[in-house]
A = this chain, B = another copy of it.
Amino acid sequence: MDRLDIPPDVVIRRLPLYARSLRYLLDEGIHSVSSQELGERINVTAAQIRKDLSYFGEFGKQGIGYDVEKLLNHIERILGLTHRWPVVLVGVGYLGQAIARYDGFNNQGLQIVGLFDNDPAKIGQAVGSHPILDYSRLQEVVREHQVRLAIIAVPATHAQSVADMLIEAGVRAILNYAPIILQTPDDVWVRYIDPVAVLHSMTYYLARESGEIS
């Protein structure tokens, strides 16, 4: 494969899973892993792993496998995780609180620098170590910390206007939990987390297995 090929997005989406598995391996004191073993942990074939990684260079040695720490460092560098990215989270309902308390957001290259809500009863309260700030300060904080990454956890009716505010202030990548597709400029990345849609994509298969639908 030509190393100059642009890796498809589906490959980029798998890299964080490789990184996480490699981190677990390191925690377990395992310093060398074959593509076969790594694949079994992630439910990906060894061939797929080798093909994915080939976009970024030569890793591992035939018959020896990958040096776990080296490969992890390399993938983290590819993903831009050699420094922490400031992140703002908008919407501190039950979901926003769960996100803010999740340790994974405050290590692994991410750092929440602001939680925002428009509910006066919440503003000034804290979630863990993060104070909840007034939504009116959103753009100020985004600009001050040069925030490029944001998480939207507001109701669907507010998500588009929040996205517009974020993008105007400089945000270039949004993780959207609101059950609505955002309209954004072409140079803004948006990913969605939508548990109901995910469940519905599985009921499709279950209905067929149970013979309800042919």
Contacts and interface: CB of A to CB of B under 8 A. Distances in A.
A80 B175 contact: no
A124 interface: no
A26 interface: no
Quick one: copies of this chain in the complex? 2
Q: Is the interface of A mostly helix, strand, loop or mixed?
A: helix
B16 A201 contact: yes
A24 to B, nearest CB: 8
B94 A203 contact: no
Interface in A155-191: 172-173, 175, 179-181, 183, 187, 189, 191
B191 A175 contact: no
Interface stretch (A97-105, A114-122, A131-139): A97-105
A14 to B, nearest CB: 9
A181 B41 contact: yes
A4 to B, nearest CB: 12
A47 interface: no
Contact of A94 (B12, B24, B101, B191): B101
A79 interface: yes
Contact of A203 (B80, B196, B200): B80
A207 B104 contact: no
Interface of A: 9, 12-13, 15-17, 19-21, 24, 41-43, 77-81, 85, 87, 93-95, 97-99, 101-102, 104-105, 108-110, 148-149, 151, 172-173, 175, 179-181, 183, 187, 189, 191, 193-210, 212-213
Given A9-B201, A17-B181, A172-B206, 19 more contacts: A12-B204, A13-B197, A16-B197, A24-B180, A43-B183, A80-B203, A80-B206, A81-B200, A94-B101, A95-B102, A98-B98, A99-B195, A102-B196, A104-B195, A108-B200, A110-B196, A172-B209, A173-B205, A191-B202
